[in-house]
């Protein structure tokens, strides 16, 4: 079966340059495609159909898409239509029907439409957009991953995203390529994201990774990767715990060098949060990595329900945002300073970070994912401490430490975080309004889950007025147990938010988590120095 799967894989493009050499490679793919058409094995036929669906719906190159659409029609493969009149819908999210599509993106790239027909923050020129999508296509060995489709709402973010992927995986260090992908798999597993986990596992195999690392897990990986186990667990459960510094100390006294260690943990952190991003958006599994005996995963059709809208709640937040914008515009510098001092005093009496229960601190994933971690229990230090931004911030403290250890990764991840932090369309629901306070409240609430607080905000006022209880609950779940997120969690938020606005909230939350995890990681590294 492995050989047959390999034969199918060779019939589809895995790397596109957008140059003349693509033609020769595609000719070889078509010749291989013609060879496998006589196969009668139903599971292989299903795989062919799934691969066709992927290349047609997830390739940022219209001429390649047209080529495979013609092949599907020529060989009467029913990948395009349910019947003669009804085209198959390429489902991306189980929560929303209205999602960006690659077909429409290709129309924009080809100049058939003047702009993308969905809400966009940070537009790119058509050629730049295709260049970044092709980088993603090549990184994933022949697709733009379904978890990357939401980024088409934020095209400019694709530049930071591809820059980060390149620096994390292509910076030459002692870490081997299959080890880097395995660390990404560990991150996806820790989030419980099957879509990302399966896709990364496929990429791991294509990089000649040891199958036992995936099939058996922790017990079969190399010893130096096993050594990261307690640190990875701490980073996703209690990164503020002093035990993190002790564990880092052990590794740096051994064979781990600072650059490789930071690179490895950055990969783990990023993919753990990318898994949360995928789960928060309800991204379905890739079609060709979930092939059954009788049928492929044709992205199950979910009925779309209109979210319940609490107009009173919506209006209240709008008024608060307008008031916040007015204050920011009208306060002269000296009065703004006084305002911050007042906020410092009031915020000290309000602690909004989560009080963890034993249940919250357990790694929430099934046997498929837990095998990538040891069964040993962590020893936590009892502490109620809170880290404040005045004591240690990302830009002033964390970034310089990370930059010294792993320059390429620090620059790339900082660029991504800054891009997410400043993205805005200045609208809430259907109304134009400055959303700085709302976006800041989301980030600060997310960071507060990890016991990190800022002095420039009145936590009680901002959290209570700007973030409804249901939204705060959604943010908590996204941070701690993203694998349990369902459509009902989104419906309960009760705000007049579109799919792209919810995605923006998810981006802000996972970026806040990444930044806070890196703050604690760098602080622990400093304590070792």
Look-up of token digits 């390999």: 6
| Residues 131, 136, 139, 144, CA torsion sign | negative
Other Cβ atoms within 10 Å of 242 Cβ, number: 14
Q: Annotate 304-330 with DSSP letters as a single string.
A: --PPP--HHHHHHHHHHHHHHHHHHHH
Q: Please report how many Cα atoms fall inside a 13 Å half-sphere around the Cα of residue 116, on the Cβ side.
A: 24
Give the chain's residues under pLDDT 70: 1, 79-89, 290-367, 378-384, 425-434, 459-460, 528-529
Give the pLDDT score at 369. Answer: 87
Other Cβ atoms within 10 Å of 120 Cβ, number: 17
Look-up of token digits 């890739």: 286
Give the pLDDT score at 294. Answer: 38
Do 153 and 121 form a contact (C-beta atoms < 8 A)?
yes
Do 69 and 106 form a contact (C-beta atoms < 8 A)?
no
Residue 357's Cβ-count burial label (10 Å; 0-12, 13-18, 19+) is exposed
CA distances in angstroms from 99 to 89, 299, 326, 449, listed in the order given: 11, 14, 34, 30
Enter the pTM of the model: 0.85
Do 153 and 241 form a contact (C-beta atoms < 8 A)?
no
Straight-line distance from the first to the last Cα atom of the chain, in angstroms, rounded to the nearest whole number: 52
Separation of alpha carbons 323 and 486, rounded Å: 33
Take residue 246 and report the two structure tokens written for it.
Answer: 């002790």
Query: Tell me: the pLDDT tens digits for 381-420?
Result: 666 678 998 899 999 999 999 999 999 999 999 999 999 9
Residue 111's Cβ-count burial label (10 Å; 0-12, 13-18, 19+) is exposed
């Amino acid at each position: 079966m492995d050989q047959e799967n390999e034969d199918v894989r060779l019939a589809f493009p895995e790397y596109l340059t957008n140059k003349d050499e693509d033609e020769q490679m595609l000719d070889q793919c078509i010749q291989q495609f013609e060879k496998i058409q006589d196969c009668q094995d139903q599971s292989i036929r299903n795989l062919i159909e799934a691969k066709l669906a992927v290349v047609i719906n997830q390739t940022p190159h219209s001429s390649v898409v047209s080529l495979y659409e013609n092949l599907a029609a020529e060989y009467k493969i029913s990948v395009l239509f349910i019947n003669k009149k009804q085209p198959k819908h390429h489902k991306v999210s189980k929560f929303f029907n209205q999602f960006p599509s690659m077909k429409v993106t290709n129309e924009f790239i080809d100049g058939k439409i003047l702009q993308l027909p969905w809400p966009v923050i940070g537009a790119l020129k058509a050629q730049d957009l295709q260049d970044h999508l092709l980088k993603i296509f090549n990184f994933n060995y022949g697709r733009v991953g379904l978890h990357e489709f939401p980024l088409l709402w934020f095209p400019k973010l694709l530049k930071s995203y591809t820059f980060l992927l390149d620096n994390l995986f292509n910076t030459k260090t002692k870490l081997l390529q299959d080890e880097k992908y395995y660390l990404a798999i560990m991150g996806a597993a820790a989030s419980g994201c099957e879509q990302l986990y399966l896709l990364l596992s496929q990429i791991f195999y294509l990089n000649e990774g040891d199958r036992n690392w995936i099939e058996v897990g922790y017990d079969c990986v190399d010893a130096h990767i096993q050594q990261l186990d307690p640190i990875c667990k701490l980073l996703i459960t209690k990164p503020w715990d002093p035990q993190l510094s002790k564990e880092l100390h052990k590794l740096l006294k051994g064979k781990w060098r600072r650059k490789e260690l930071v690179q490895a943990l950055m990969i783990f952190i990023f993919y753990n949060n990318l898994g949360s991003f995928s789960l928060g958006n309800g991204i379905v599994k890739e079609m060709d990595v979930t092939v059954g005996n009788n049928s492929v995963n044709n992205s199950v059709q979910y009925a779309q329900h209109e979210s319940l809208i609490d107009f009173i709640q919506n209006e209240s937040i709008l008024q608060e945002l307008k008031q916040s914008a007015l204050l920011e515009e009208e306060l002269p510098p000296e009065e703004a300073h006084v305002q911050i001092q007042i906020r410092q005093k009031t915020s000290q009496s309000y602690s909004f970070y989560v009080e963890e229960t034993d249940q919250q601190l357990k790694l929430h994933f099934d046997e498929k994912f837990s095998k990538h971690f040891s069964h040993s229990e962590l020893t936590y230090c009892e502490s109620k401490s809170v880290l404040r931004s005045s004591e240690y911030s990302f830009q002033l403290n964390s970034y310089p430490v990370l930059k010294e250890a792993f320059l390429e990764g620090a620059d790339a991840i900082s660029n991504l975080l800054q891009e997410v932090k400043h993205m805005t369309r200045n609208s809430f629901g259907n109304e134009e309004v400055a959303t700085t306070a709302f976006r800041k409240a989301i980030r600060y609430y997310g960071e507060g889950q990890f016991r990190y607080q800022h002095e420039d905000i009145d936590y009680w006022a901002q959290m209570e007025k700007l973030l409804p209880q249901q939204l705060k609950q959604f943010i908590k779940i996204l941070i701690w147990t993203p694998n349990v997120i369902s459509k009902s969690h989104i419906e309960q938020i009760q705000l007049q938010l579109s799919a792209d606005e919810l995605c923006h909230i998810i981006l802000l939350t996972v970026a806040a988590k990444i930044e806070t995890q890196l703050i604690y990681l760098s602080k622990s590294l400093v304590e070792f120095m």
